[in-house]
């Protein structure tokens, strides 16, 4: 249970941005979506190659908090 979803979203965003930077990406974050009282999601896209990253403060039981191709594959530029 996440009490402060904005705080958590900010933390995940920082973490995801760093992980993507490590692979050479420059992430531009899109709008955040709020679902219920504890869930927030946000998508980002690399400005160079278009690979995406998704963060979710309260994913489904089999889901992950940070995911997307930008985390797994390096930037093509």
By CB under 5 A, name the binding residues for Zn ion: 25, 46, 48-49, 75
CB closer to Zn ion, 11 vs 48: 48
Question: Residues near 72 by Cβ (< 8 Å), separated by ≥ 6?
Answer: none
Report the C-alpha gap between 10 and 12 in whole angstroms: 6
CB of 58 to Zn ion, least distance (A): 27
62, two tokens: 């089999």
CB of 7 to Zn ion, least distance (A): 27
CB of 17 to Zn ion, least distance (A): 12
């Amino acid at each position: 249970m996440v009490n402060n979803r904005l705080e958590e979203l900010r933390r995940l965003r920082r973490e995801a941005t760093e992980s993507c930077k490590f692979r050479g990406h420059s992430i531009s974050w899109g709008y955040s979506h709020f679902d219920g009282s504890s869930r927030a999601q946000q998508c980002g896209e690399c400005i160079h190659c278009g690979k995406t990253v998704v963060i979710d403060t309260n994913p489904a039981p089999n889901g992950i908090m940070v995911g997307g191709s930008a985390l797994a594959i390096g930037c093509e530029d």
